[in-house]
Amino acid sequence: MNQQIEDSVLVSNYISGDEKSLEVLINRHNQRISSFIYSKVLDRDVTEDIFQDTFIKVIKTLKKGSYSEEGKFLPWVMRIAHNLIIDYFRKSKRMPKFEGSDDFNIFSVIGDDRPNAEKQLIKDQITSDLKVLIEELPDDQKEVLVMRIYKDMSFKEISENTGVSINTALGRMRYALINLRKVIEKNKIVLTN
């Protein structure tokens, strides 16, 4: 019987005093959270620091009883990590590092044409949030939306691939967008910076 205990049950058990439940949660999500952090900061030591800070915040919030369980433990933890990553970039931007000689070099201060790390982080988070929202759609609407937006297929191609008429494919796309808007409004989700 290799049944996996739900995150919500582990959270509840931890709040009730079972320290082992937190260890299970950390081990379960360690790889995903660490990979997410590393993909943004590209530094193993910083990744480890942010990972630890993330779980310190998780523990404090759970101990205070401020966490409201909605079956969304991992997205909540990812949001905490995301905010800590942004804090890290803000701090490192405020304290510029000058490496090399004592001579001031203007090129160590001025930017280049690469995307701002914070803006890229926000864009990545919006993309990630949107994927989670899309997963909530009924399968037929999700299928059409993914084919249209992510696979850049025409409605004619979608129609041929799904075996439905073009009008049905258009209708499913329309309902997918309506349903996404409803979820976004209901949950007061902000998908822009």
pLDDT score of 148: 87
pLDDT score of 50: 94
Residue 193 tokens read as 């910076």
Task: Please tell me the distance from the alpha carbon of residue 192 to that of residue 7, in angstroms, as a whole number.
Answer: 29
pLDDT score of 3: 62
- Alpha helices (runs of H) in 6-43, residue ranges in sequence order: 7-15, 19-41
Q: What is the DSSP letter of 76?
A: H
Residue 73 tokens read as 């433990």
The domains of the chain are located at 1-100, 115-193
pLDDT score of 1: 42
Q: What is the CATH number of domain 115-193?
A: 1.10.10.10
State the CATH class of domain 1-100. Answer: mainly alpha
Q: Are 77 and 54 in contact (CB under 8 A)?
A: yes
Between CA 101 and CA 191, with CA 92 as vertex, the angle to 5 degrees is: 145
pLDDT score of 47: 93
Average pLDDT for runs of 10 along the chain of length 193? 76 90 91 91 91 92 81 87 89 56 50 62 77 85 87 88 90 89 77 58
